[in-house]
């Protein structure tokens, strides 16, 4: 019996999948919500920082 708890390999380079989409099934309702939000004109709705500046940053 060891004094220490045995865990995962600390040299593991990736803990999670590379993309969040890898967790979400094709038939998951969240994909409908994602498509809806992508179609919204956030600037027209009054949100600030929608358009990035030349440096790629928003205010």
Q: What confidence tens digit (pLDDT) does each residue in 11-57 have?
A: 766 777 678 788 888 999 999 999 999 999 988 999 887 877 777 77
**What are the boundaries of each domain within the chain?**
17-49
Helix (H) or strand (E) holding 36: helix 30-39
35/48 Cα distance (integer angstroms) = 21
Give dist(CA 57, CA 40) in Å, integer. 21
Q: Is the pTM of this model over 0.85?
A: no
Residue 1 has pLDDT above 60, yes or no: no
* Measured distance CA(50)–CA(42) in Å, rounded: 7
């Amino acid at each position: 019996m060891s004094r220490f708890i045995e865990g995962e390999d600390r040299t593991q380079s990736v803990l999670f999948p590379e993309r969040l989409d890898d967790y979400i099934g094709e038939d998951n309702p969240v994909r409908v919500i994602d498509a809806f939000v992508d179609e919204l004109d956030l600037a027209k709705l009054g949100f600030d920082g929608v358009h990035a500046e030349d440096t790629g940053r928003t205010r």
